[in-house]
Amino acid sequence: MSSDLNGARPGGTTGSEALIASVPSAEPATAAGPKGMAGLAGRWWAISETLTAYSFLAPTIAFFAVFMFLPIGLGFWLSLENSSGFGVSTFVGLANYRAMIHDPIFWKTLGNTAIYTILTVPSSVLIGLAIALLLKDEFLRGRNIYRSFVYFPMVISGVATAIVGGWMFNENLGVADKFLAAVHLPTIHWQSSSFPAMMSLVVMTLWTRVGFNMVIYLAGLQNMDSSYLEAAAVDGAGPWRRFRRVTWPMLGPTTFFLVVMNVIYSFQVFDLVYVMTGGGPSNSTNMLGVYAYQQGFIENQQGYATAIGMALFVLVLAFTAIQWRVSRHRDLA
């Protein structure tokens, strides 16, 4: 692993801890200026430091003000409006949220999002861990090439992934059914029945996501103190016991970080579902993120779409809050 970028890396401190640890302290780093500068010169230096900081931040603040903070504020307002996009909007209070509670498709997409999350997160994290354990050994020949094969799909767009997935799981012409037929198994209706369609999405998700989990686990394993493992081996613990009693507990923070990240990705899935199944057959693979887009830009129910977006936001916030809570407790322990 090259160390061009020195400093903390996940494993010892997971990304989540880094996020917390990285909130800057109020203490001025260089407020007093160079040593020996006092009085007027020192004060002038501090003023110019503040001016420099704000001018360096000005472009960032401008972009965020117009394209992030203003939209978030408008979003809250918009979710209280009945709006078709180009016509006149009327304030309807909580009507969009009430409609959401009575919308069976909203509940269906929420349930599908939950199912998709349950089907993708534990599997991708555990497979990532298994491959990391398999490929961590510094004596394994060609391990760098093997690793590349596992994580290269992360650079492939969701759309391209969906297109190749849709083709491999094509109901009449796909290679998945071809394999099944070759070994005399019944072929599966990947596109016209609900659960197989969901499974085809899960498989393509694993393809792009396992590599990310493997990379983070490899870093965690590398930062692990191997003397515990060696001590366990001296005490006669076999490979499974060594894993169960030493490696797995020590990777706890890494696993936790990966579970939270993967949950957040799964909640927000859009590209893959929209292009590969379009949410079909009959909404059985439709998810919250896709449904919000359909409502906003196909059905032109922009207020309702934003209300669905808010529901998604609440879910993501809840998980982030859990993560912060747990990692803070761990830091204090």
Partner 1 sequence: MTPASTTSVSYSMRRGRRSWRITRHVITIVICAVMAFPIYWMIVTALTPNSDLIAGVAGYWPRHFDIGNFTQAFAAQPWGRWFLNTVLVGVASVLLTVSTNVLAGYAFAKLAFRGKVLIFFLLLSTMMVPIQVTMVPTFRITVDLHMFGSLWGVIIPEVAAAFGIFLSRQFMMSIPNELLEAARIDGAGHVRTFLRVVLPLCKPLIAVLVLFNFMFRWNDFAWPLIILKNPADYTLPVGLLFLQGQYTVNYAQMLGMALVTILPMLVLFIALQRYFVEGLLRSGIR
Q: Which of residues 303-322 bind partner 1 (CB under 8 A)?
A: 305-306, 308-310, 312-313, 316-317, 320
Please, what is the minimum distance in Å from the beta carbon of residue 81 to partner 1? 10
- Least spacing, CB of residue 226 vs partner 1, in Å: 8
Q: Which of 39, 104, 138, 240 binds partner 1 (CB under 8 A)?
A: 138
| Residue that the structure tokens 């949410």 belong to | 279
Q: Does 224 bind partner 1 (CB under 8 A)?
A: no
String of DSSP letters for 299-310 = S--HHHHHHHHH
CA–CA separation, 170 vs 236, rounded Å?
51
Examine residue 279 and tell whether it contacts partner 1 (CB under 8 A). Answer: no
Closest to partner 1 by CB, 56 vs 332, is 56
Write out the binding residues for partner 1, residues 193-212 only, by CB under 8 A.
207, 211-212
| Helices and strands (H and E) in the chain: how many | 16, 2
Query: Residue 7 Cβ, how far from partner 1 at the closest point, in Å?
Result: 4
Which lies closer to partner 1 via its Cβ, residue 29 or residue 101?
29
Which of 14, 4, 59 shows the shortest CA–CA distance to 252? 14
Window 150-189: residues binding partner 1 (CB under 8 A): 150-161, 163-168, 170, 172-173, 175
CA-to-CA separations, 60 to 19, 46, 57, 197, in angstroms, rounded: 19, 22, 5, 42
140 contacts partner 1 (rule: CB under 8 A): yes
d(CA 114, CA 212): 21
DSSP states of 224-288: S-HHHHHHHHHTT--HHHHIIIIIHHHTHHHHHHHHHHHHHHHHT--HHHHHHTTT-STTTT--H
State the helix-helix crossing angle for 194-222 and 158-168, rounded to 10 degrees: 130
* CB of residue 107 to partner 1, shortest distance in Å: 17
146 makes contact with partner 1 (CB under 8 A): yes
**Positions in 6-65 near partner 1 (CB under 8 A):** 6-10, 14-16, 18-19, 22-26, 28-31, 33-35, 46, 48-50, 52-54, 56-57, 59-61, 63-64
For residues 140 and 185, which CB has a smaller minimum distance to partner 1 in the complex?
140
CA distance 109 to 279: 9
Considering beta carbons, is residue 115 or 153 the nearer one to partner 1? Answer: 153
Which residues within the stretch 225-264 sit at the binding site for partner 1 (CB under 8 A)?
229-230, 233-234, 257, 261, 264
Q: What angle do CA 290, 292, 293 make, to 5 degrees?
A: 65
Q: How far is the CB of 263 from partner 1 (least distance, A)?
A: 12
